[in-house]
Structure 1
Amino acid sequence: MDDQHNMNIPPLAREVKAKAEARGFTMSCDNLTGQLLRGLIASKPHARILELGTGAGYSTAWILEGMDQASTLTTVEYDEELVAIARSTIQDERVAFHVCDGAVFIEQQLAQRYDVIFADTWPGKFNLLEETLSMLKPNGLYIIDDLNPQPNWPEGHGDKVHALIEYLDQRDGFHRIKLDWSTGLMILTRI
């Protein structure tokens, strides 16, 4: 089986990637992660979805492709130039872009509840993890990627990833799936 064959990459994702790479941004999720996000989101009709780390909108495009018309996506990114790429490409009334620090957003939105949270940045993954997990509805999915060593990791980052995985392994109230696939993913389902 070839997991790279017949992925059906969303046209908006292709457009976002081209614009992002033209500006030198290469930190978007990979196609395997995008494909997984689309499939998981499609299993959650009428969902409230939170994406922490919009980047240029590559994963946003995959998420939108999986969403039904009644679902909504809130996506957060601090880099205005990256959000400008996403906004210029993705014009969908189901998505709300927030340009701010993810930590500030989490702290201001603690009363909100989501069916799916994709944390692809430090806030919500390495910082304010408990606060982010508290925003997840029962049966909700918390998804993180980039858990296998990446060439762009700064020195010492591997120790932080290892500590994160160990912590989540011990965390009560969730079923866990660890995938040594793509960039290394972990999915938690709130019990």
Structure 2
Amino acid sequence: MYSDDIHTLPPAYADIEAASQTIRFSMPSDRQTGAILKMLAASKPKSKLLEIGTGTGLATAWLLAGMDADSTLTSIDNEPAYQAIARQVLGADDRLQLVCTDAGNWLETTDQTFDLIFADAWPGKYANLDATLNALAPGGLYVLDDMLPQPNWPDGHGDNVDKLVRELEGRHDLHLVKLAWSTGLLIASRN
């Protein structure tokens, strides 16, 4: 029977998931989001990818699983304890650069462009949006998750989501699709 259940997980996913549970990490990307990240990364051979919000590395593992040997992934987080898990489990992959810093400041000063940006943190999504989209190469993909109400949303956060979606829909340099699937995905392609 056709279903959207995810059974094939990236290498080391179980190790990251177990370590995440040990430290009670409560903001993981779900497996459906991971599966689409893997597929989107695979569609961008010889590319540069950016993940804003490494967390413990669950989504990072999916992105790496989809990337070819000639692609690179820069993943940024400001929480060393979370990113330490990603570093321990995934750090030997020479395609991965883990950066522990304030993503907002990093976005505002980078001159790099990326073929895929997965924004899973406040910077890159609700803050520093222009800097983030300026870092998106033509034909690049901008991917957001958690666009549908989540149990950990603070009061009033739905207004932030609505404002962001209106802003993205009003841009003439993006084509976007909103998916009421998984945690709510938004995928945009830059002209």
Alignment correspondent of 1:92: 93
Kept in 1, the 8 Å contact 2:10–2:62? The answer is yes
Alignment correspondent of 1:131: 131
1:169 & 1:186 partners in 2: Cα distance?
11
Kept in 2, the 8 Å contact 1:13–1:59? The answer is no
1:78 & 1:157 partners in 2: Cα distance?
21
Kept in 2, the 8 Å contact 1:52–1:77? The answer is yes
Per-residue CA deviations over 1:102-161 (Å, capped at 9, x if unaligned) read 10111121x111000000000000001011001111100000000000000001111101
Counterpart amino acid of residue 190 in structure 1: R
Cα RMSD for the two superposed structures: 0.8
Alignment correspondent of 2:75: 75
Shift of 1:15: 1.1
Alignment correspondent of 1:112: 112
Q: Equivalent residue of 2:29, what SS?
A: coil
Alignment correspondent of 2:5: 4
Kept in 1, the 8 Å contact 2:12–2:61? The answer is yes
Alignment correspondent of 2:190: 190
Aligned pairs, number = 189
Sequence identity (%): 44
2:36 & 2:56 partners in 1: Cα distance?
19
Q: TM-score, normalised by structure 2?
A: 0.97
Kept in 1, the 8 Å contact 2:11–2:65? The answer is no
Q: Equivalent residue of 2:12, what SS?
A: helix
1:184 & 1:130 partners in 2: Cα distance?
22
1:93 & 1:163 partners in 2: Cα distance?
38
| Structure 2: 5+ residue stretches without partners | none
Kept in 2, the 8 Å contact 1:114–1:136? The answer is yes
Alignment correspondent of 2:180: 180
Shift of 1:74: 0.2
Alignment correspondent of 1:170: 170
Shift of 1:14: 1.7
Kept in 2, the 8 Å contact 1:42–1:66? The answer is yes
Per-residue CA deviations over 1:31-85 (Å, capped at 9, x if unaligned) read 0000000001001000100000000000000000000000000000000001111
2:104 & 2:36 partners in 1: Cα distance?
25
| Structure 1: 5+ residue stretches without partners | none
1:112 & 1:11 partners in 2: Cα distance?
28
Q: Equivalent residue of 1:24, what SS?
A: coil
Q: Mean Cα displacement is larger for which, 120-129 or 163-172?
A: 163-172
Q: TM-score, normalised by structure 1?
A: 0.97
2:165 & 2:109 partners in 1: Cα distance?
26
